[in-house]
Amino acid sequence: MSKLKSLVKSQWSMVVLIIIIATFLRLYNITEVPPGLYPDEAMNGNNALEALRTGHFKVFYPENNGREG
């Protein structure tokens, strides 16, 4: 029974270690990487803000080579 407890304890330790490492890698330099938005993301954001501001939601947005709404 103690081998089973030891195995479970070591597995949980590995899970916790992986979560800690993943959290560190995700949050390290989070304010600097990426340095900004890509043009497509910025255009989608502008379209969303315009739709919210005006209340006019389009089926198709022709800006930036077009995309569905």
Q: What is the mean pLDDT of residues 2-7?
A: 84
Same domain for 3 and 30, yes or no, is yes
pLDDT digits (tens, 9 = 90+) for 11-63: 999 999 999 999 999 999 888 877 888 888 899 999 999 999 999 999 999 98
Same domain for 21 and 49, yes or no, is no
Same domain for 10 and 24, yes or no, is yes
Domain that holds residue 50: 37-69
Helices (DSSP H) in 1-69: which residue ranges?
2-27, 39-54
Same domain for 25 and 45, yes or no, is no
Q: Cβ(37)–Cβ(45) under 8 Å?
A: yes
Confidence of residue 5 (pLDDT cuts 50, 70, 90): confident
Q: What's residue 57's pLDDT?
A: 94
Same domain for 51 and 68, yes or no, is yes
Same domain for 31 and 41, yes or no, is no
